[in-house]
Amino acid sequence: MLKAGVVGGTGYTGIELLRLLVMHPQVELACVTSRSEAGKAVADLFPNLRGHTDIMFTEPAADTLGACDIVFFATPNGTAMTMVPELLDKGARVIDLAADFRLNKESDWEQWYGVKHACAELLDEAVYGLPEINRDALPDARLVANPGCYPTAVSLGLLPLIENDLVDDQHLVADAKSGVSGAGRGANVATLLCEASENFKPYAVDGHRHLPEIRQTLHAVAGHEVGLTFVPHLLPMIRGIEASLYAVLKNRDTDLHALYSERYASEAFVDVLPAGTMPETRTVRGNNMCRISVFQPLAGDTVVVSSVIDNLVKGAAGQAVQNMNIMFGLSEQAGLDHTALLP
């Protein structure tokens, strides 16, 4: 059994991670930390875990966490980087669900997150944990940067087009929408029920923090810089992301559905829908699947890809567990073989 520690188990990503870990057949939940909730039973704060774990929240301690096989950070940006070097030195392996290790360049981190990086020497070592492109690097990784939710949906949606140089990659457009849980569990007027319900709005149009992450991922695939306009929106629902992706084809005679089907045929958590099928966020609610549809309206030169994920699962906690499974040689689907919740 793998001993797992979770740092910051009180947010939406943290509780989703705990839900998945307590059901994992090969994981023992060894410690869950929270400075604010230390001494309280995890199941008292999250009653859905009652009967699944009797573990208590504790203060984060390097010795305790360092004794774990794997440590997950479900913390705000900027927290993991202050603790990771010591945990790696103690022999623990780490998956960071925040953004501390997603960007390769220290200057990019400082530009987009506004603080100096505490351990920039580890940025080159960190493996970007999108298994569909970096699976081979995960078994030997000590440190994994779990991708963001928007970057997961957008990158998986565009990947086959970029890999095969089928589109003008200097004018890509990602029009993405997320449920309110993506904004986190902290108190915020903008995410109150009366503010978010019956409303739909874009935000961070001038530059979202996930933009450099998506560009970096697509750059690595294309072998050169790509041009991407990324516009996120807030939807009045709890879970889910839908990314509508637009690009101009170089050859309109390409069989796009066959291309996507072949690319993802062996991927357990990417489902290319039958031609003409419209994806829905509810079909991935609570599971680790990314469902994709590809369209070529009126057989023209524009390709439209729709990619849906649960932002808390494939967009965060589920992908972290998927990465852990690969890192430790477990079945990639272990603890993740759940159907979506309907209605």
Whether 339 is in a domain gets the answer: no
**Cβ(221)–Cβ(163) under 8 Å?**
yes
Candidates 31, 68, 119, 149; catalytic one: 149
* pLDDT on residue 190: 85
**Cβ(291)–Cβ(273) under 8 Å?**
yes
Which residue range is the domain that position 77 belongs to? Answer: 2-125
Whether 167 is in a domain gets the answer: yes
**Cβ(283)–Cβ(340) under 8 Å?**
yes
Q: What is the pLDDT of residues 123-166, one digit of tens each?
A: 999 999 999 999 999 999 999 999 999 999 999 999 999 999 99
**Predicted TM-score (pTM) of this structure:** 0.97
Tokens of 3: 């001993």
Q: Are residues 115 and 176 in the same domain?
A: no
Q: What is the pLDDT of residues 73-127, one digit of tens each?
A: 999 999 999 999 999 999 999 999 999 999 999 999 999 999 999 999 999 999 9
- The enclosing domain of 96 has a CATH number of 3.40.50.720
How far apart, in whole angstroms, are the C-alpha atoms of residue 21 and residue 1? 12
Q: Are residues 15 and 71 in the same domain?
A: yes
Confidence check: pLDDT of 343 > 90: no
Express as a percent the part of the chain with pLDDT over 70: 100
The structural domain count of the chain equals 2
In the residue annotation, 194 being an active-site residue is answered as: no
Q: Are residues 23 and 71 in the same domain?
A: yes
**Cβ(307)–Cβ(242) under 8 Å?**
yes
**Cβ(158)–Cβ(247) under 8 Å?**
yes
Q: Are residues 177 and 263 in the same domain?
A: yes
Q: Name 94's Cβ contacts closer than 8 Å, sequence gap at least 6.
A: 70, 71, 72, 73, 80, 84, 87, 88, 142, 143, 144
Q: Are residues 157 and 246 in the same domain?
A: yes
Q: Are residues 187 and 281 in the same domain?
A: yes
DSSP 169: T
Whether 318 is in a domain gets the answer: no
- The enclosing domain of 205 has a CATH number of 3.30.360.10
pLDDT (average), residues 325-333: 98
Confidence check: pLDDT of 2 > 90: yes
Whether 285 is in a domain gets the answer: yes
Identify which of 1, 63, 61 has the alpha carbon closest to the alpha carbon of residue 34.
Answer: 61
**Cβ(270)–Cβ(292) under 8 Å?**
yes
